Amino acid sequence: MLESLRSIVQEVNAARDFRNVLDIIVSQVKASMDTGICSVYLRDAEEQDVFVLLATQGLNPDAIGKVRLKEGEGLVGLVARKAEPVNLGRADQHPNYAYFPETGEEAYNSFLGAPIIHHRKVMGVLIVQRQNQRPFDEGEEAFLVTVSAQLAGVIAHADATGELSRLTSLKQQDERVELVFTGVPSAPGVAIGTAVVMAPVSDLNAVPLRTADNIDQEVEQFKAALTATRKDMKALDRGLVGKLNDEERALFDVYLRMLDDHALGGEVVEKIKEGFAAPSAWSMVVLDHVSRFERMEDAYLRERAADVRDLGRRVLSYLQESENRIPVYPDNMVLVGEELSATAFADVPVEKITAMVSVQGSSNSHMAILGRAMGIPTVMGAVDLPWTEVDGAELIVDGHRGQVVTWPTEEHKAVYIHEMEEEKLLAEDLKVLQDAPCITCDDSSIALWVNTGLRLDAKLSLDRGAEGVGLYRTEIPFLMQDRFPSEEEQRQVYREQLEMFNPRPVTMRTLDIGGDKDLPYFPIDEANPFLGWRGIRVTLDHPEIFLLQVRAMLRASEGLDNLRILLPMISNLNELESAKRLIDQAYKELTEEENIPLQKPKIGAMIEVPAAVYQVEEIAGRVDFLSVGTNDLTQYLLAVDRNNPRVAELYHSCHPSLLRALKMVADGAARAGKPVSVCGEMAGDPVGAVLLVALGFRILSMSANNLLKVKAILRQIRVDEVSALLNGIVQLEDPVMVKSRLEEAISSPEIDRLIRPVAVH
Ligand code: PEP
Ligand code: MG
């Protein structure tokens, strides 16, 4: 059974299109289960309570698209309504049985139907039928349920990309029709621009679909890539004389022949002549061959798929090298990638980026944080976006609602242009608050600091009237390098920050890598990276890296005295003591051995692991200040990966448990007499900021972009009122209720304008 399942999944993954997927499902399931009929019904994209027969083996194929059942109607509708399998020996005797003469099914008595469910929604029903009058056995039922569960994702993807609606409505539709893809809202704002796809090199599955500008030139480049690869293969072959026997080496001849005109080479030239650019044509042809090998019965031949893939990568890297497209970056470009990372900023002119879309990641991934820091509307986790196919397409990116619209209609664009104008007006109106103090209506003063990491966001912060830096993420300059930066290189970068903000305090966090922040030159490969070697754990294991960084920070602070050092991911007191000892060591080296006059910086600990919440007083007793990282604290407290779009809906900073934990931190710090700030993203969300003030926090650190909105909202509330509200709110059981109760309580036209994006219909 496992073998049949593997082969079904493999064939489905290699299918040309969704029609082909459905045909594979019915024919393979029918063959593996040895049934007379196998059919798939899917929910109609327009009439959502109707299920349509879309593929069958065994029933009359003319019935496809014609047999339509409402939820609850017939046995198919029963499976859909119950959302569980129905297994019958005599289907015709069941009260729900409905007979459709056009299907020609009368001879089939036994019936087994399994629902196809994705994210709790029944997308369709998979049916098998036999002539005998016995129910299917338990093993068969379990098999059908397994197949359905595996296929649900593919069907949901077809639904999102519009392929399903093309089939169910049976209308001819233009490929370039407007489609809306949903992801995770990650940096607010709306933008319209042209997609520029960032693809990793030499990855056959990530070649952007591009057309050829000049066909002859593409063919020539392709031939040159083949010649270069042939040369490499021959050199490789020569190097293996004596190491492999002749038979094994003969494989190289096979590869060389595969590149010939009557094999892969010829097919690719044909594709280029159809108008595809050489890398696109090559990847399509190679992947097609790889999938054919993968589906072969013979294990030896199946293994050859890896060889074809390897050959494919070799030619592709030559093609990409010779692709002497001088990249032309449109002024309003939307950066699109499967897994966008900060390194993209090194390759493109940052000032031209108008929006960002990533297929992977979620709202607290570091790319999202950068998007917010730079005021670039960002959608992460757009898992269904056919990202390799949108290069050059016009896109609307809606960072408020987490939507990406491909090939938008003029009407839709007009609605968004209106929203962009509204946003511009709001930003203009907020400018007057730049130099105004952040004081609530009952005279409490709240310090608004900023989170920085790039030179760009530091400049923006000063323009917005930031009172200090609550979190300088030092890993960002580390990410932009191809090796660890030297002490002097670090000193210069840190000095610039300290000087720019002087005399305001700058809180520099020691290197916080691991989790989703991998340095290209120091990869950490772990099964469970967020629970693994990250933050202080890495740097305490590598005191040479830690000491170098702390020395650079201290030297940078000479004569400025506005440095504060913050330690990330503290989960026990030992880590704190060890880190403090190392900071002391660096301080002594510099002041006593190297005679540099330095003031000792204040040292703080991040509270971002639940264990630290319960030891907050002990931690506070050992440091000068605390800073709460709500991004990680939420992830660890709620057990929700901050990067995983599948569970993004569970990641909620209004969760009552999180509020209670935050209250413990605020109270603990107050008892210990130590200042505490919040530097997680919650502080930069206007509603989150109100909650934090109600909880007792008086220093909030956020992306510069949110600073004026937060200031505007805090200047309109009373601390005594929101604190009184809080007592009732933390008793609520549900995060959505918490948010709406608070929003309702503080609602006014001025406040609503700050917290709600304009509705788009
Ligand atoms: C946090 O975890 O809230 C935080 C501020 O740090 P980072 O997002 O860099 O992990
Ligand atoms: Mg963190």
pLDDT digits (tens, 9 = 90+) for 542-553: 999 999 999 999
The pLDDT of 410-420, averaged and rounded, is 93
pLDDT of amino acid 175? 60
Using alpha carbons only, give the angle 65, 70, 73 rounded to the nearest 5 degrees: 115
Contact 157, 384 (CB under 8 A): yes
- pTM for this structure? 0.80
For the cut 70, the answer to whether the pLDDT of residue 171 exceeds it is no
User: Is 334 strand, coil or helix?
Assistant: strand
**241-272 pLDDT, tens per residue?**
776 677 766 777 777 788 887 778 888 999 89
Residue 325: predicted pLDDT: 59
Residue range 10-64, pLDDT digits in tens? 888 777 788 889 999 999 999 999 999 999 999 998 888 999 999 999 999 999 9
Rounded distance, CA 726 to CA 734, Å?
14
Statement: residue 758 has pLDDT above 70 = no
| CA 629 to centroid of ligand 1, rounded, Å | 5
Residue 305 has a pLDDT of 79
Q: What is the pLDDT of residue 429?
A: 94
Is residue 631 in contact with ligand 1, taking CB distance under 6 Å? Answer: yes
- Region label for 189, one of left (φ > 0), alpha (ψ between -120 and 50) or beta (otherwise): left
Report how far residue 20's alpha carbon sits from residue 16's, in angstroms, rounded to the nearest whole number.
6
- Out of 101-105, 236-240, 584-588, which region has the weakest mean confidence (pLDDT)? 236-240
Mutate which of 364, 508, 700 for ligand 1 pocket (most atoms within 8 A of beta carbon): 364
In which region does residue 465 sit, left (phi positive, over 0), alpha (psi from -120 to 50) or beta (all else)?
left
- For the four alpha carbons of 185, 186, 192 and 198, in that order, the dihedral sign comes to negative
Q: Residue 368 above 60 pLDDT?
A: yes
Quote the mean pLDDT of the chain.
90
Given a cut of 70, whether residue 761 has pLDDT beyond it is: no
Residue 275's alpha-carbon distances to 192, 217, 269, 281, 364, in angstroms, are: 28, 12, 10, 9, 40
pLDDT of residue 17: 81
pLDDT of residue 307: 80
Ligand 1 proximity of 630 Cβ (cutoff 6 Å): yes
Give the residue from 143, 114, 119, 185 showing the smallest Cα distance to 33. Answer: 143
11 lines ligand 1 (CB under 6 A): no
Distance, in Å, from the CA atom of 697 to the CA atom of 667, rounded to the nearest integer, reads 9
Active site residues: 366, 679
Ligand (nearest to CA of 684) = 1
- Per-residue pLDDT averaged across 410-432, rounded? 93
Point out the ligand nearest to the CA of residue 451: 1
105 lines ligand 1 (CB under 6 A): no
Q: Considering only CA atoms, which residue is closest to atom 3 of ligand 1?
A: 629
> What pLDDT, on a 0 to 100 scale, did the predictor assign at position 292?
80
The bound ligand whose nearest atom lies closest to the alpha carbon of 369 is: 1
Q: What HEC string does 393-434 produce?
A: CEEEEECCCCEEEECCCHHHHHHHHHHHHHHHHHHHHHHHHC
Flag whether pLDDT at 174 surpasses 70: no
> What is the whole-number distance in angstroms between the Cα of residue 156 and the centre of ligand 2?
33
Helix and strand numbers, DSSP H then E, in the chain: 28, 22
Q: Is 210 in the pocket of ligand 1 (CB under 6 A)?
A: no
User: Is the pLDDT confidence value at 107 over 80?
Assistant: no
pLDDT per residue over 700-735, tens digit each?
999 898 899 999 999 999 999 999 999 899 999 999
Q: How far apart are CA 530 and CA 456, in angstroms?
A: 28
What are 576-585's pLDDT values in tens digits? 999 999 999 9
Among residues 25, 386, 383, the alpha carbon closest in space to that of 205 is found at 386
Contact 226, 312 (CB under 8 A): no
Query: Which residue has its alpha carbon closest to ligand 1 atom 6?
Result: 629
**What is residue 87's predicted lDDT score, i.e. its pLDDT?**
97
Q: Distance of CA 40 to CAs 54, 84, 448, 711, Å? A: 6, 15, 57, 55
Nearest to 305 by CA among 297, 295, 318, 313: 295
Average pLDDT over residues 653-659: 96
CA distances from 628 to 286, 570, 620, 658 (A): 50, 11, 12, 12
CB 536 within 8 A of CB 609: no
> How do residues 591-624 score in pLDDT, each as one tens digit?
999 999 999 999 999 999 999 999 999 999 999 9
- Reported as a single tens digit per residue, the pLDDT across 475-514 is 888 876 779 999 999 999 999 999 999 999 999 999 999 9
- Ligand 1 pocket, 517 CB below 6 A? no
Please state the atom number of ligand 1 nearest to the C-alpha of residue 635.
2
Contact of 608 with 633, CB cutoff 8 Å: yes
Domains, the chain, ordered by start = 2-168 (3.30.450.40), 179-199+338-426 (3.50.30.10), 204-323 (1.10.274.10), 434-755 (3.20.20.60)
How distant, in Å, are the alpha carbons of 120, 183, 609, 657 from that of 639? 20, 20, 11, 12
What are the pLDDT digits (tens) for 71-95? 999 999 999 999 999 999 999 999 9
Tell me the per-residue pLDDT of 689-698, one tens digit each, with 9 for 90 and over: 999 999 999 9
The amino acid at residue 450 is V
pLDDT at residue 236 is higher than 90: no
Q: Regarding predicted confidence, which is higher, 177 or 188?
A: 188
For residue 409, the model assigns a pLDDT of 94
CB of 473 sitting under 6 A from ligand 1: yes
**Which residue has the least CA distance to atom 1 on ligand 1?**
629
Question: Is the confidence at residue 759, as pLDDT, over 50?
Answer: no
**Is the CB of residue 508 less than 8 Å from the CB of residue 564?**
yes
The whole-number pLDDT of residue 128 equals 96
Ligand 1 pocket test, candidate residues 362, 679, 692, most atoms within 8 A of CB: 679
- What is the pLDDT averaged over residues 448-460? 84
For residue 514 and ligand 1, the question of a CB distance below 6 A is answered with no
How many Å separate Cα 376 from the centre of its chain?
Answer: 16
